[in-house]
């Protein structure tokens, strides 16, 4: 066994004979951001090949890696049910709606990062099992005599089965079927450095268009053209900011599976609609999934390049074949991206959840590329995103969309994950977690059980990857009625209640809009330097034990800490990372810990000491190349200038070097090179 | 491919090259009940080998079997979350506490039965995946043109993903790793006949000792010798029937893992305790699991015959080796079964549930027999039951115990499954379901959220495989306090409330005791004729569509239908199978459907028309060879005599032919050959 250092601090190790269809062999893999990697500090190997055990069997192969006693690991894809992954058993099955904390995820990734300052990527499309330090081999005892008698008799299941991580256990990874695998080790020295190496190796973080960071609203699934226009009108009339309108399945002539044709019945004048929405400042996002209905124009030509099982009567295109990508991609280019459609929602590219009927293709499916169903389930999300992103790129459209599955190499893909699950704590945990796998996640709003629930859910999106009001199951905007059934039945709140809700909604959405420049620069840092824009506190402070399991707060961009509340919580005392932290609104200074009891209109936000937060005058919708009017909010006595990124915000020209980095200092002076996008109107100081 | 008819109506089909370690190759497999099989009607093959597709790949192997449009399938082991298994995706992973309906079970079994009148057993110890008719291969369309336009746009997830079984789909079974497998097809003509063939092929249903059908009470986990005695005293003083007292982990000097030695501290005079309980009419059940603690006398000798991973510092004996069975079995014989211990609770022989820490051995474990961890997880429950049953058999003890894992060939094992889960509807569904896999299951009582919950849970056990008050987590009997926390803290009900609860408890437990002769005869029918004593209505009435999904009622013995209520239900209207059904208590006659709204003290029971139900004068505890005083309850005008079984009820002599079948007719005349066990004291007629 020998390591190959493929980039500075990134090692590849081949174990046995890897399979043909692995994530790294797919067309979605981007070129690494070499410059970014080379700017990271040099680092030595976290463990030598001698510390690794590898074996093959008819079951597949097994890798064992060292772990130390105080080490915690994170990642394994979008795990909504838990943050810390140490001492557990995880099987990375692709599953749309896992209800339990088993490893099942709609976006699993065989990838973890350690507080000991390294990361490990296992290049497999199999449903690998990770035993993360909870299992001990026989004879692997410390010689110290144990005090067996001190144990008390447990009287509840929690005590009986409570996890006791053993310092002698190792990370074990079992991969089914495969007789070998490549593993990639990302060096630190800190955990965040390892994450950055992974992100940069994957091509750097994605660069969303600026409008993608604005407000998204998905119309009701049954809405026809005139109903969509009436939503568009209402949002503008009521001064509700909105950048993107999403159309649900009803835009198509056939769904489940998809015809990919406009419905003549519901959208007879879709060209008119597209034009109208454009003039009103809306981008359009179209819902679809990859399963191709017999009535689709693509059906015949895709037949030879599809799997051997149908899903909802539709073909499953094999996007691991060039032909299927070409047919599907060109169809999208000709019919949509060249017709001013900038964005797509890629639904159901994950997998059935076992519980309801098995709607997706089985794991034993065969595809023309040679992949089986298990491999395809792992990779379909990434392959599909790539086909769509390519169709956009060919029209010089910088897209930002939604997808329900991702895997390795996700960072460079401009797609945000979402889920049919809806527990708000899980949704918040998703934002905390997603950075560890270089993924993006929206804690979207669909409906709410109360005004408090509604406001808390909106707040949790203000500093998240995507602020999405996904109103697909309600014919009327949420301020008419938050309850799905009542909304459908037309039972509305009173006029005055509606106005109150509308005002609260407007205020929160404007708050999001005001952070676009800050978030956009954070994404540029993600792209060029690999730092995820949304990070667990453990990622920034892996050595603070009390930060390791905080799954209810995250870092947004360089300097903000967000602590969204859920409707069932009124107060919380939380530990703080080292240094002083300022209340975003009042400037009150805190250290070590903070007691929070925000009213239902307030999203708790803290600011790192000596930082400047640029807050923009909110726009109704992002206009291309708009110059933002900023309020500088300055926290602390010796603030550092804030780094800002500027480009056209909409095209792919940044990939050709058409962008600029600059600074804004505490006097409000904007560097020349970025002054075409930013001007300072106001300065507020909190000392 | 060719079928081998190994017994009348039982065919074996070898597909590819099966693995070495399969269920049928294990020592727990009993000789088939040839006489019983030969008495079943002759039957033809349900499908020809040409209807079966088989293929191998690096993934393992894949079998496809025909299904028709109106066919429903049942079984796949103890599935607590669903009854009908059609149109689903099930992975039969061994998992102690599955929270979702995925196929995970602590007692999965690759075995299903069809309403079309046959059963299929797949002889594998792998975690096989069953796609039960929900997935369709491409091109497998009916030629009929579909009316695609009639579909409406769904506005909720249920509609979106609602199962639509296709008449063109087939049963697909994917087995990982294995490159071949034997399947066994059990012919009908009816579904129950196929179940009977399976049970008889597995050695016939188990014959519990009569005391096993009585009342079980598990003492608190922390109880010492004097506390156990005080429970034993209190039960007798309060005239609460009880046959078996269970001791939890505290009886051992070390647990998690097990020393298998009496605790000197808590049970300094255990010989005295055993003797005392015996004189009081109690049998003793000892809790244990298979993991052997370093302080156990067996530890050194078991080392070479154990797996390569520890569980809770303990060895995992490889019961697929003769040596481990011998060491473990003889230890139990010498220390326990020869010392008047008749029963064991075999805990944690299933597998960790992914959610809490991975306490069991990993699937990649290796065992000296050559099994891996996945195979061992599937088979450990059965292997372990066999070791314990053998240790009992060698002392001529007919045992009845508890186990947390089973698999194929379970019918002949005298062990009842249980679970740490506690949803009452799931527990009831477990009784409905268990017969399809020839398993037994107890909807045990552990604690309750209300008096209603308590009474409903007790009622659900009256006509179930085991009536178990598992009070392991509470120091005081439930009538002191139903809430666990309060019970531990010594916060009790008032004297009068306690007396009321005690009276209700006594009444329900006596009700159970009164059914012992009826249930014992039902078990004898299970043993000799293969009819499960507890059956889904669908098993008896597969052709009645409205019986297929009834998961809240079951048939107990030949002629009783039990419809236990849960605390959240006050009324129910249910369809009835063909014929007239009589209210057990009032004799009111019903047909087609029945409206039930039982008060909280009443368990709804219906009786088939023209049947005689023998109800015994309840005993405090079953005494060996006691003569039961029966009340005959006669329903209908032309009642058939009731068949009854008689033997000593305690020893294994029935296996040498020392038993008798007889009848009791409506005049109360008991056949000579069984009159040493039964006499009729009273006759009640409902016409």
Q: Each residue of B86-129: pLDDT tens digit?
A: 999 999 999 998 889 999 999 999 999 999 999 999 999 999 99
Contacts of A256 in chain B (CB under 8 A): 151, 154, 160
ipTM of the complex: 0.95
Which pLDDT score is estimated for A166?
54
The number of residues making up chain B comes to 687
- pLDDT at position B357 over 90: no
Lookup: tokens for B284: 């003793």
Please give the DSSP secondary-structure letter assigned to residue B621. Answer: S
- pLDDT at position B311 over 70: yes
- Quick check: A285 and A245 in contact, CB under 8 A? yes
Residue in chain B lying closest to A164 (CA): B357
B411-449 burial by CB neighbour count: b if 16+ within 10 A, else e? Answer: bbbbbbbbbbbbebbbbbbbbbbbbbbbbbbbbbbbbbe
**Rounded-to-10 torsion of CA B163, B169, B175, B179:** -170
Return the residue in A20, A131, A136, A153 with the most chain B beta carbons within 10 A, the one to mutate for interface testing. A153
Contact A102 B313 (CB under 8 A): no
- pLDDT at position B12 over 50: yes
Helix axes A451-462, A495-514, angle to 10 degrees: 10
User: What's the CA gap between B235 and B242, in Å, rounded?
Assistant: 7
Q: Each residue of B230-271: pLDDT tens digit?
A: 999 999 999 999 999 999 999 999 999 999 999 999 999 999
User: What's the CA gap between B101 and A131, in Å, rounded?
Assistant: 23
Of residues B603, B378, B431, the one with CA closest to residue B512: B603
Report residues of chain A scoring pLDDT below 50.
143-145, 164
- pLDDT at position B565 over 80: yes
Q: Which residues lie below 8 Å from residue B226, measured CB to CB, with a gap of 6+?
A: none
Question: DSSP secondary structure string, B444-508?
Answer: -B---SSHHHHHHHHHHHHTSS-EEEE-TT-SS-TTT-SSHHHHHHT----HHHHHHHHHHHHHH
Provide the shortest C-alpha distance from residue A31 to chain B (in Å): 32
Selecting from B129, B161, B221 the residue whose C-beta is nearest the C-beta of A359 gives: B161
Lookup: tokens for A575: 């530990």
Which pLDDT score is estimated for B97?
85
Contacts of A221 in chain B (CB under 8 A): 153-155
The mean pLDDT value for B161-175 works out to 75
Which pLDDT score is estimated for A163?
54
Residue in chain B lying closest to A153 (CA): B222
Contact B172 A362 (CB under 8 A): yes
Contact A357 B136 (CB under 8 A): no
Which pLDDT score is estimated for B148?
60
Contacts of B57 in chain A (CB under 8 A): 364, 372
User: What's the CA gap between A494 and B312, in Å, rounded?
Assistant: 61
Lookup: tokens for B168: 């063109």
- Quick check: A411 and A204 in contact, CB under 8 A? yes
User: Helix or strand or coil: residue B654?
Assistant: helix
Q: What are phi and psi of A569, to 5 degrees?
A: -125, 135
User: What's the CA gap between B54 and B216, in Å, rounded?
Assistant: 47
Which pLDDT score is estimated for A264?
96
Contacts of B157 in chain A (CB under 8 A): 420
Q: Each residue of B470-523: pLDDT tens digit?
A: 999 999 999 999 999 999 999 999 999 999 999 999 999 999 999 999 999 999
Instruction: Quickly count: other Cβ atoms within 10 Å of residue A447's Cβ.
Output: 21
User: Helix or strand or coil: residue A133?
Assistant: coil
Provide the shortest C-alpha distance from residue B317 to chain A (in Å): 12
Residue in chain B lying closest to A19 (CA): B58
Residue in chain B lying closest to A150 (CA): B254
The helix or strand, by DSSP H or E, that contains position A538, with its residue range, turns out to be helix A537-540
- Quick check: A427 and A81 in contact, CB under 8 A? no
Which pLDDT score is estimated for A167?
56
B239 Rama class: left (phi>0) / alpha (psi -120 to 50) / beta: left
- Quick check: A264 and A253 in contact, CB under 8 A? yes
The mean pLDDT value for B174-180 works out to 98
Provide the shortest C-alpha distance from residue A621 to chain B (in Å): 28
Provide the shortest C-alpha distance from residue B366 to chain A (in Å): 11
Contact A309 B176 (CB under 8 A): no
Contacts of B488 in chain A (CB under 8 A): 155
Whole-prediction pTM: 0.96
Contacts of B162 in chain A (CB under 8 A): 356-357
Instruction: Quickly count: other Cβ atoms within 10 Å of residue A224's Cβ.
Output: 17
Contact B362 A129 (CB under 8 A): yes
User: Helix or strand or coil: residue B360?
Assistant: coil
Contact B131 A358 (CB under 8 A): yes
Contacts of B308 in chain A (CB under 8 A): 137-138
Which pLDDT score is estimated for A164?
47
Provide the shortest C-alpha distance from residue B322 to chain A (in Å): 21
Contacts of A222 in chain B (CB under 8 A): 153, 155
Which pLDDT score is estimated for B164?
47
Lowest-confidence segment of A2-6, B8-12, B71-75, B265-269 by average pLDDT = A2-6
Contact A357 B162 (CB under 8 A): yes
Selecting from A62, A88, A488 the residue whose C-beta is nearest the C-beta of B358 gives: A88
Contacts of A174 in chain B (CB under 8 A): 362-364
Which pLDDT score is estimated for B253?
96
Return the residue in B142, B296, B356 with the most chain A beta carbons within 10 A, the one to mutate for interface testing. B356
Provide the shortest C-alpha distance from residue B301 to chain A (in Å): 15
- Quick check: A634 and A666 in contact, CB under 8 A? yes
Contacts of A420 in chain B (CB under 8 A): 157
Instruction: Quickly count: other Cβ atoms within 10 Å of residue B138's Cβ.
Output: 17
User: What's the CA gap between B629 and B616, in Å, rounded?
Assistant: 5
Selecting from B156, B221, B359 the residue whose C-beta is nearest the C-beta of A155 gives: B221
Which pLDDT score is estimated for B149?
54
The mean pLDDT value for B51-75 works out to 95
Provide the shortest C-alpha distance from residue A352 to chain B (in Å): 9
Return the residue in B155, B179, B218 with the most chain A beta carbons within 10 A, the one to mutate for interface testing. B155
What is the band of B144 on the pLDDT scale with cuts at 50, 70, 90?
very low
Distances (CA, A) of B452 to B429, B456, B600: 19, 6, 6
């Amino acid at each position: 066994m020998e390591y190959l250092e493929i980039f500075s601090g990134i090692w590849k190790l081949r174990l046995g004979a890897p399979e043909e269809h692995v994530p790294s062999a797919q067309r979605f893999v981007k070129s690494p951001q070499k410059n970014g990697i080379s700017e990271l500090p040099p680092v030595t190997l976290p463990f030598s090949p001698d510390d690794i055990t590898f074996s093959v069997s008819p079951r597949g192969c097994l890798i064992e890696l060292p772990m130390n006693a105080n080490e915690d690991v994170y990642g394994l894809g979008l795990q909504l049910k838990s943050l810390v992954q140490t001492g557990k058993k995880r099987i990375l099955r692709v599953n749309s709606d896992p209800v339990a904390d088993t490893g099942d995820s709609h976006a699993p990734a065989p990838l973890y990062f350690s507080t000991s300052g390294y990361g490990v990527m296992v290049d497999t499309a199999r449903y690998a099992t990770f035993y993360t330090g909870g299992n001990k081999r026989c004879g692997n005892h410390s010689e110290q005599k144990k005090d067996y008698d001190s144990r008390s008799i447990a009287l509840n299941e929690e005590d009986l089965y409570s996890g006791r991580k053993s310092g002698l256990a190792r990370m074990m990874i079992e991969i089914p079927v495969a007789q070998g695998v490549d593993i990639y080790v990302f060096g630190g020295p800190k955990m965040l450095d390892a994450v950055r190496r992974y992100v940069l190796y994957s091509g750097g973080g994605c660069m969303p268009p600026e409008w993608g960071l604005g407000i998204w609203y998905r119309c009701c699934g049954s809405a026809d053209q005139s109903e969509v226009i009436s939503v568009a009108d209402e949002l503008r009339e009521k001064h509700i900011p909105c950048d993107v309108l999403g159309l649900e399945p009803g835009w198509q002539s056939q769904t489940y599976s998809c015809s990919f044709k406009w419905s003549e019945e519901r959208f007879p004048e879709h060209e008119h609609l597209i034009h109208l929405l454009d003039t009103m400042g809306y981008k359009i996002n179209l819902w679809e999934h990859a399963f191709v209905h017999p009535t689709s124009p693509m059906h015949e030509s895709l037949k030879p390049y599809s799997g051997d099982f149908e899903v909802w009567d539709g073909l499953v295109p094999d996007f691991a074949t060039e032909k299927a990508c070409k047919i599907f991609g060109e169809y999208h280019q000709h019919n949509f991206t060249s017709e001013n459609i900038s964005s797509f929602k890629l639904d159901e590219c994950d997998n059935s959840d076992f519980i309801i009927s098995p709607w997706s293709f089985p794991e034993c499916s065969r595809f023309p590329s040679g992949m089986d169903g298990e491999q395809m389930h792992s990779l379909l999300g990434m392959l599909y995103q790539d086909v769509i992103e390519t169709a956009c790129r060919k029209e010089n459209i910088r897209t930002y969309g939604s997808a329900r599955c991702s895997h390795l190499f996700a960072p460079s893909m401009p797609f945000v994950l979402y889920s049919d699950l809806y527990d708000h704590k899980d949704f918040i945990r998703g934002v905390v977690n997603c950075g560890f796998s270089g993924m993006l996640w929206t804690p979207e709003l669909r409906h709410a059980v109360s005004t408090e629930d509604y406001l808390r859910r909106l707040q949790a999106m203000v500093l998240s990857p995507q602020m999405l009001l996904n109103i697909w199951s309600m014919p009327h905007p949420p301020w008419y009625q938050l309850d799905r059934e009542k909304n459908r039945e037309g039972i509305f709140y009173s006029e005055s209640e509606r106005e109150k809700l509308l005002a609260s909604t407007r205020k929160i959405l404007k708050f999001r809009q005001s952070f676009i420049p800050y978030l956009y620069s954070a994404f540029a840092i993600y792209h060029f330097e690999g730092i995820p824009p949304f990070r667990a506190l453990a990622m920034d402070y892996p050595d603070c034990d009390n930060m390791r399991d905080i799954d209810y707060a995250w870092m947004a961009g360089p300097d903000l800490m967000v602590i969204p509340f859920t409707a069932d919580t009124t107060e919380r005392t939380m530990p703080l990372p080292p240094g002083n932290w300022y209340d975003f609104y009042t400037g009150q200074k805190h250290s070590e810990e903070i007691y929070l009891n925000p009213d239902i209109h307030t999203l708790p936000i803290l600011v790192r000491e000596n930082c400047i937060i640029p807050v923009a005058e909110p726009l109704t919708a992002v206009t291309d190349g708009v110059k933002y009017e900023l309020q500088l909010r300055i926290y602390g006595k010796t603030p550092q200038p804030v780094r800002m990124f500027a480009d056209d915000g909409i095209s792919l020209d940044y990939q050709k070097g058409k962008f600029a980095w600059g600074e804004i200092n505490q006097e409000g002076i904007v560097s020349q090179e970025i002054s075409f996008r930013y001007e300072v109107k106001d300065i507020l100081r909190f000392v």
